[in-house]
Chains A and B, each alone.
Chain A
Amino acid sequence: MTPLALTFMVLSWSFVLGLTAWCFARVLRSEKRPRSEPGERVDGEAGGDGYSGGPP
């Protein structure tokens, strides 16, 4: 396997595995804390008409 092909494979695998691991780590972490309430503003948005933003 050429170094270039190996590089592409490693980068591709690292990206998808890293993204998957990060997502599930965040899912598990968010299970352990209180959830956000409706009415919070999304960062940078004008107004907040009952929609919630990210975690407190």
Chain B
Amino acid sequence: MSPRADEAGTGVSPRPGSADPDRRETENARTRAGEAWGTRIGLILAMAGNAVGLGNFLRFPTQAANNGGGSFMITYFAALLLLGIPLMWIEWGLGRNGGRYRKGHLPGLLAAVWRHPAAKYLGVVGLVIPMAVMVYYTYIESWTLAYAFFSATGDYWGRETQDAMVGYLRSFQGVGEERVHGVLTPFLFFTVTLVVNIWVVSKGVAAGIERLARIAMPTLFILAVLLAIAVLLQPPSAGGDTPIRGLQFIYGPDFSRLTDASVWLASAGQIFFTLSVGMGSLAAYASYLSRRDDIALNGLATAATNETAEVVLGGTIAIPAAVTFFGVSGAVAIAQSGSFNLGFATMSVVFQQMAGGQLLGTAWFGLLFFAGITSSVAMLTPILAFLREEFGVRREWAAWGLGGITFVLGLLHIIWLEHGFLDEWDYWAGTFGLVVVALLEVIAFVWIYGPANAWRSIHEGADIRIPRFFKFVITYVTPVYLLIILVWWGATDALPILGLSRAAGGGPVVAATLPYIWAARAALLGMAMVFLVLIHWAWRRNGYDDRAGLPEVPELQGGDRA
């Protein structure tokens, strides 16, 4: 951070040597170019934006309602304290440590803490997973943009039943026989969404991602608060259902579920997904920080902001609205039919019943779009860092090049959505893969680098002292928690899905979808092979010695790799 920026209250300290006029000139030039975080609040908002996503508003309330309501919150907060917040600190610590070696990608981050030839290759999962998730997440994000447009124009007005709106959603997705829109409509919204994403990423960390977060995050919170108020003020329905019954539905405790292991795993999974850990993007963001910058308090603030968005706002909109208009039994059926039906079909029906529905519908889908885009712009950051740091590719070229690849792969998801192509990627990259990456990060940063080193590293420049209890948690509890999740999901989901005895999207595997399932797996494996070759090439090209360790780069700006 430049001295000038620090004077503006960034919370990011001046670097040693910043009194040197030449250095200061360089630092200011870098800051102006948007190659480091501009302000501390901007950093927290960008990190929180990364964490706050569609799951906060769609997945959380359905998970809570389906897993014991109020008693789910006990397991949820246990997972937050023992899994989520420790993982947040670990990703920030691993990322900032990698920044010392000018590395913002997992192969480099692992090599920075583990001087072994295998480290860099294991890091391939930290390139494949964000790339794969970016592709289909951007596609789903484009639905929210489309629905914001459809709400504003009243396109679906008149379709006032759940079945009608599910049909409308399937039509938009190109699934089934009914066609409401032109065949190119989903392609158009996907292209627009992707272009906006890539444009933001191409502008760099401060001028692109941070600027987006400073606009999108406050907007998101304002929209969520307005929607929550609008829902809570709804009068009772003809059947006597109210939004308060919706809150009762979410928070009414069922203590018998506390002894059910699946509830503990469901809450751990929700915490895991909502904080965006295991993607490598938080670490990539943190790699732009220096040793003098706080990560302990910033990491906690990021997690807390995400939790406010999820628990207070996410739980107060969709399910209370669904209960008011469909009753508890209707809401149960909707919640069990999936988050997308709740978010896109049910909410569209609800808004048609409410005063100012078009405006509220636009606000709801706009809120989801902002939640989505602040997450998706983070996903390309590790790959962008890899291309820039190891091959010297210009940021704009790297961003638009990756955008082109994302576009081509995204077309496969649009065309083959009904054949389970997206479900397959969502399971292996967006569900199982995240746990694998998180476990790798914990093992490397805590066990290989050493608990004492990890603990000291997290406290470098810290504005708070983390209670020592968490050192034990980070060293033992979090890895065991992750291992249990991995083994449980491996046994109950991964093996049946891998063996084709169950589809990744649920239900039995249909023979006609087999070629698409194998194509999806081949695409993921192909992507991994390409990245493995690139990692090998990068290490040879740059002359890295695995045993001697990566060369440390003198701190300038907390990073110049944006």
Contact = CB atoms under 8 A, between A and B. Distances in A.
Of B71, B311, B457, most A-chain CB atoms within 10 Å: B311
A23 B300 contact: yes
B304 A5 contact: no
A30 to B, nearest CB: 4
**Chain A to chain B: the 5 pairs with minimum beta-carbon distance, closest first:** A8-B70, A23-B301, A51-B456, A30-B463, A20-B304
Contacts of A13: 311-312
Contact of B460 (A7, A19, A26, A52): A52
B73 A53 contact: no
B5 interface: no
A47 to B, nearest CB: 8
20 contacts: A4-B252, A5-B247, A5-B252, A6-B251, A9-B70, A12-B77, A12-B311, A13-B311, A19-B300, A22-B304, A27-B297, A30-B11, A31-B11, A38-B292, A42-B459, A48-B456, A51-B457, A51-B459, A51-B460, A52-B462
Given A1-B248, A23-B301, A38-B292, A54 B307 contact: no
B421 to A, nearest CB: 37
Interface string A15-26: 111011011101
Interface in B65-119: 69-71, 73, 77
Contact of B251 (A5, A49, A55): A5
Interface of A: 1-2, 4-9, 11-13, 15-17, 19-20, 22-24, 26-27, 30-31, 35-38, 42-46, 48-49, 51-55
Contacts of A15: 77
Contacts of B300: 19, 23
Contacts of B461: 35-36, 38, 52
Interface string B309-331: 01110000000000000000000
B307 A23 contact: no
Interface of B: 9, 11, 13, 40-41, 44, 69-71, 73, 77, 244-245, 247-248, 250-253, 291-292, 294, 297-298, 300-301, 304-305, 307-308, 310-312, 452, 455-457, 459-465, 468
B471 to A, nearest CB: 9
A46 B297 CA distance: 23
A3 B307 CA distance: 23
Given A35-B13, A38-B460, A16 B304 contact: yes
Contacts of B312: 13, 16-17
Given A36-B462, A52-B459, A53-B462, A31 B40 contact: yes
Contacts of A30: 11, 294, 297, 463
A55 B251 CA distance: 39
Nearest to B14: A35
Nearest to A26: B297
Contacts of B44: 27
Contacts of A26: 297, 463-464
A37 B44 CA distance: 22
Contacts of A31: 9, 11, 40
A8 B73 CA distance: 8
Contacts of B291: 38, 51-52
Nearest to A15: B77
Given A15-B77, A19-B307, A20-B305, A2 B462 contact: no
Given A1-B244, A31-B11, A45-B455, 5 more contacts: A8-B253, A23-B305, A26-B464, A45-B452, A52-B462
A8 B249 CA distance: 12
A44 B468 contact: yes
Contacts of B304: 16, 19-20, 22-23
Given A27-B41, A31-B40, A42-B459, A5 B70 contact: yes
A14 to B, nearest CB: 10
Contacts of A27: 11, 40-41, 44, 297-298, 301, 463
A9 B247 contact: yes
A31 B250 CA distance: 39
Contacts of A11: 73
B70 A54 contact: no
Nearest to B465: A54
Contacts of A23: 297, 300-301, 304-305
